[in-house]
Each structure stands twice: as C-alpha cells, then as structure tokens.
Amino acid sequence: MPYDAPYEYKGKAQGGWLTISLGTGAYPSFFTKHTFPRLAVSFEQAMDWTPDTLSGSFTLPTTLEPGQTYNVRAKLETADGKQETDTDWGVFTIREEVPPVPPKADIKDFDFRATPGTYDIGDKVPFTAVYEYEGKAQRGRLTISLGTGIYPSFFTKHTYSPVAVDFEESMDWRGGTIDGNFTLPTTLEPGQTYSVRAKLEAISDYTQETDTDWSAFDVSEVPPPPTVTFDVMIWGTGGFGHYDKWRCYYWDPATGGFVGDEQWHYPYQDIGFSNVEPGGYLAVFLLEDSTMSDQFTSPTFEAVDGGRYQYDLDLNRVSKLG
C-alpha cells in the first residue's frame, strides 16, 4: 500500500526513523495489530522550517482480518530524540474473501462392475463403481438392480435398497470410488445369467448417471436330487388273511406320483424300484383269487441305493434288511 508523509524540519543534519503501525479502533482509541520494522530516514540541515515528504509503500500482512477497517499510525523521530506522531483514521478495509461458488452438480464416467463368476443363492457378489463428480458437497445414493435380458433390453428382477453416498465439494471434476457387495436373493432363478444396473444420484442439487454391467454373473444350477434303486418284500397280511399274490407301488417325491410295474407277484418275490428319489412311501395291495384288499400305505422312509426293505403290514413298519 503506497503512502506519503509530508513534514517540516529545521535543525542539524542527522539521521532518524519512520515507524508505521496498523491498528483498529475509532478516534481517539488505537489498538495496535501490526508494527512494521522502522525505516531509516535522513534529515538535511535547515536553518528554518523546511517542508519535505517521505514516500513509500508497505505490504499488508496476512494476520489482518478480512472485513476489518484499519487505521495507520506513523511516528517520525530524529536521532537526537525529537519525534512527531500522526494517525490516519479509517484508511483501508481488508476485502472479505468470498468463497467461490461450486458449479452445478454433475456426474460423468460412471462405471459399475460386479465381480464376474458363478454364484450360489445367498452369496455376496463384490462390486466396484468409479465415477467423476463436480459440484457442492451433498448426500447421494447408489441403487442396484438385478435383471435379465440382452443389450439393450433389461428386465428388472430384483432391486436393492439404496446405499448412502457422500459427495465432497469439488470445483472441477474429481474421481471417486464406491466398493461394496450385494447378496443374491432367493427369488433368482438357478442357471440364469444376470446383468446388474446401477443408478448413482446426487440428491439436493439433483443429477444422476446410470450404468449397466451386462451378463455380469451366473447363478449356479441346483443339482438334481440323488436317485436310488432298491427292492421291497412284505411281511404279514394286515388282517386280510391268506393271499396268493401282491402288487406294490412307490410314491416318488421327484415326480409327485406313484411308480410300479403294474404286475402281480407271488408272496416270495421281491419288487424292485429304480431311479427314484428317497423319502417316498409304499402302496401295497393283496389278491386272493379275485378278491383284492384295500390299499396298505406305509410310512415314508429314506431308501438307500442298493438297499432291500421289508414292509410289515401288521405293524405298518418299513425295515431295512441286512
């Protein structure tokens, strides 16, 4: 800041100093906030009052407060101890710093990627989402949906609750990354390939970007239940009395129906069942001449492959033999 300090002097030739201070307050109060190192000056010999001017400039220190008005006090003194002080009241005001206004919020280069692979229902699938953002600091959200279809068709099958995201203020494009995982719901179809669609939103100064990771992952096939082959014989008559032949069916959980050879067998013969699912039950009929018994229904049982079972009609019990 430039200054001029006019004065009048008379006396011998000698040196002196000019000391400048900055301060606050209203006349006559002066509260010193900064004093510059004193400046050396020279006085030429003068037999009578002789005018002169000191000119220069000083740099405003960083300790001054924005928005504050300052006074300037100057003290001019000679080497032999004479001095004069003057104060320039309300000389200048430090300009208040106006923070720059961030640009309107925007998102670009949003790229969402799920970790590819084959997953089981209930597995967690990791993902990474990168983006660039500019704008004010604000809250946002990331919404992830799973769907089927081939580009550009996307058929939504499941949408997760939004994940909270924080955007920091940025005057220019700044990169960001979101890492996480999502759990595969039970509504997904085994053996199906799924794409992932993600929408990234900034909420108050609204903007959004959407990206789709096509054919991102597969859901593993559910293996078919194991099948077994086993033989059945019967014991007792269940109150029917003597019989000549018998017939047996097995209710197969895999098909939800009965299987059997539809043949009558002699009492000493076993009846076999092949490639059926365990956990079913038997339906047995007895035949004496032309008279057929009512159905005997066994309890369910877990047959093992290659097993031989006896169905006791009197006790209504299935036992494994051997």
Q: Is the dihedral of CA 162, 163, 168, 170 positive or negative?
A: negative
Using CA atoms in the order 56, 62, 65, 67, what is the torsion angle rounded to 10 degrees?
Answer: 60
Weakly modelled stretches of the chain, pLDDT under 70: none
Which residues are paired to 92 by β-bridges? 70
Amino acid letter, 284: V
**What local confidence, expressed as pLDDT, does residue 77 receive?**
97
The Cα–Cα gap between 26 and 288 comes to 128
Helices and strands in the chain: count of H runs, count of E runs: 0, 25
The Cα–Cα gap between 300 and 176 comes to 59
The Cα–Cα gap between 94 and 60 comes to 9
Give Cα separations from 34 to 30, 57, 85, 87 (angstroms): 12, 15, 16, 14
| Tally of CB atoms within 10 A around 52 | 13
**What local confidence, expressed as pLDDT, does residue 126 receive?**
98
- The percent of the chain in helix, strand and coil, each rounded to the nearest 5, is 0, 60, 40
pTM, entire model: 0.54
141 exposed, middle or buried (CB, 10 Å; 0-12, 13-18, 19+)?
Answer: middle
Q: What does the DSSP assignment read for 50-107?
A: EEEEEEEE-PPPTTSPTT-EEEEEEEEEETTS-EEEEEEEEEEEPPPP-PPPPPPPEE
**What local confidence, expressed as pLDDT, does residue 224 receive?**
78
**What local confidence, expressed as pLDDT, does residue 239 receive?**
94
* DSSP structure class, residue 265: B
Q: In what order do the strands lie in the sheet with 228-235?
A: 271-276, 228-235, 308-312, 317-321
Q: What does the DSSP assignment read for 188-248?
A: SPTT-EEEEEEEEEETTTTEEEEEEEEEEEEEPPPPPPP-EEEEEEEES-TT----SEEEE
- Give yes or no for a contact between 243 and 286, defined as CB atoms under 8 angstroms apart: yes
pLDDT digit string, tens, across residues 51-86: 999 999 999 999 999 999 999 999 999 999 999 999
**Domains of the chain from N-terminus onward:** 2-93 (2.60.40), 106-219 (2.60.40.10), 228-321 (2.60.40)
Tell me which residue of 226, 223, 199, 225 sits closest to 212, measured CA to CA.
199
The Cα–Cα gap between 162 and 165 comes to 9
**Two tokens at 239?**
């109150």
**What local confidence, expressed as pLDDT, does residue 223 receive?**
81
Amino acid letter, 106: D
Give the 3-state secondary structure of residue 145: strand
The Cα–Cα gap between 304 and 226 comes to 10
Q: What is the CA radius of gyration of the chain?
A: 49
- What burial letters (b/e) apply to 241-267, b meaning 16+ CB within 10 Å? eebebbbbbbbbeeeeeebeeeeebee
